[in-house]
Amino acid sequence: MITHKQRIEAALEGKILDRPAYAMWEPHFNLEDRNVKDFTDATIRYQEAYDFDFIKVMPNGIYFTEDFGQVIRPAENYLDDTWMNTLQFAIKDPHDWAKIKVPDLKKVRLQGK
């Protein structure tokens, strides 16, 4: 039996495959993406359920802006799009750009802190 890695390698080499290589993803797991462990567990469950050939990890794309002061209301249900839950923007007027400080890299949101 061909492994996922072998299928992807064969596809990249232009070889004939036993079936098309595939993956599917959603923007992120809205209810799990606020915590690294929960997000990891949800991604693993998704892979186990559908047996994809590769996983595209796609957490909440607003982590970066939160580290600079954007405030996001956590999702309340699966269909909540995180970007629509902005309560406060990091930049409210052009002068705010001069006030931005480098975030503490030991406490950034992507690490779940």
Sequence-distant (6+) residues with CB within 8 A of 112 are: 34, 35, 36, 37, 39
pTM over 0.75: no
As a whole number of angstroms, the distance between CA 108 and CA 19 comes to 41
Position 27 scores a pLDDT of 60
CA angle 96, 100, 103 (to 5 degrees): 150
Domain ranges across the chain: 4-111
Position 24 scores a pLDDT of 82
> Which residues of the chain have a pLDDT value below 50?
113
Position 111 scores a pLDDT of 59
